[in-house]
């Protein structure tokens, strides 16, 4: 499997102040990687930096083998990175179909393929995004990202504001996407054990530093590891 995202000794943050320090992380094709940690640990900042939206202070990020330093976010995206941000960032006055067409790289064929993963959107294609439920909005955000046929998909807090039963339905779709398309998936998620059930590997951040990494299933077996890492005690 080729490495799609490689983060080496990353220091990144805002106004020259590091929020994430010394991070090393990889995502390869066809795998799901969970990035976990308490609020304020630096998870969202890591995704924003990998997308080119937050500048690197020091260290290196390579996306598809190319350094992102000095590259504009839209050029990184054009190479095949899709980022579903926290809060979904939909066009709420547009319909579901219009949101999907905005993202589609090759038109209706890509929209149809994306809807294959989220068939619940098909009966509501003419409904404005602002009138959808939280679960439907999240499905739309995910489907729109898939219309560009990404090689690397980054998803920030898919479960935000959703009932656990909806999260249980949505998270396995990421596993299906990785398996069927070969895309790598980097998932930031607050439902730790649900995320570990669909991920191949996991990284845990605490106070901006990596405190735990390894096989997701093994970490999920020993919940004391997660508890310790969230308290900053695992190394």
> Cβ contacts of residue 119 below 8 Å, gap of 6+?
none
Number of H helices, E strands in the chain: 9, 10
Cα gap 186→166, rounded to integer Å: 20
Provide the sign of the torsion angle of the four alpha carbons 186, 187, 193, 199, taken in this order: negative
Residue showing tokens 């990144």 = 12
CATH of 3-80+151-230, one of 1.10.10.10, 3.40.190.10, 3.40.50.300, 3.50.50.60: 3.40.50.300
Phi, psi values for residue 24, rounded to 5°: -120, 130
Per domain, the residue ranges of the chain are 3-80+151-230, 88-149
87, 159 contact by CB (below 8 A): no
On the question of pLDDT at 107 being above 80, the answer is no
On the question of pLDDT at 155 being above 70, the answer is yes
Query: In this predicted model, what pLDDT tens digit does every residue of 175-197 receive, in sequence order?
Result: 999 999 999 999 999 889 999 99
Q: How high is the pLDDT of residue 122? A: 96
Report H helices in the chain: 43-50, 73-78, 96-103, 108-115, 134-146, 164-181, 192-198, 216-221, 223-230
205 burial type by CB count under 10 A (0-12 exposed, 13-18 middle, 19+ buried): buried
Q: How high is the pLDDT of residue 88? A: 74
Cα gap 224→206, rounded to integer Å: 15
């Amino acid at each position: 499997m080729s490495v799609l995202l490689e983060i080496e000794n990353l220091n990144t943050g805002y106004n020259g102040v590091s929020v994430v320090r010394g991070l090393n992380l990889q995502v390869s094709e066809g795998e799901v990687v969970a990035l976990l940690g308490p609020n304020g640990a630096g998870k969202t900042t890591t995704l924003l930096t990998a997308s080119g939206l937050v500048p690197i202070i020091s260290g290196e990020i390579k996306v598809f083998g190319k350094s992102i330093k000095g590259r504009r976010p839209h050029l990184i995206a054009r190479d095949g990175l899709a980022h579903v941000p926290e809060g979904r960032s939909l066009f709420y006055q547009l319909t579901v179909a219009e949101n999907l067409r905005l993202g589609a790289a090759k038109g209706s064929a890509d929209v149809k393929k994306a809807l294959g993963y989220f068939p619940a959107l098909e009966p509501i294609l003419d409904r404005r995004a602002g009138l959808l439920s939280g679960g439907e909005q999240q499905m739309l955000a995910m489907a729109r990202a898939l219309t560009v046929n990404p090689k690397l998909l980054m998803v920030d807090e898919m479960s935000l504001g959703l009932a656990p039963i909806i999260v249980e339905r949505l998270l396995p779709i990421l596993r299906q996407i990785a398996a069927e398309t070969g895309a790598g998936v980097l998932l930031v998620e607050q439902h730790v054990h649900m995320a570990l059930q669909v991920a191949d590997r996991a990284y845990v951040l605490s106070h901006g530093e990596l405190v735990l990494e390894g096989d997701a299933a093994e970490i999920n077996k020993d919940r004391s590891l997660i508890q310790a890492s969230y308290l900053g005690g695992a190394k």
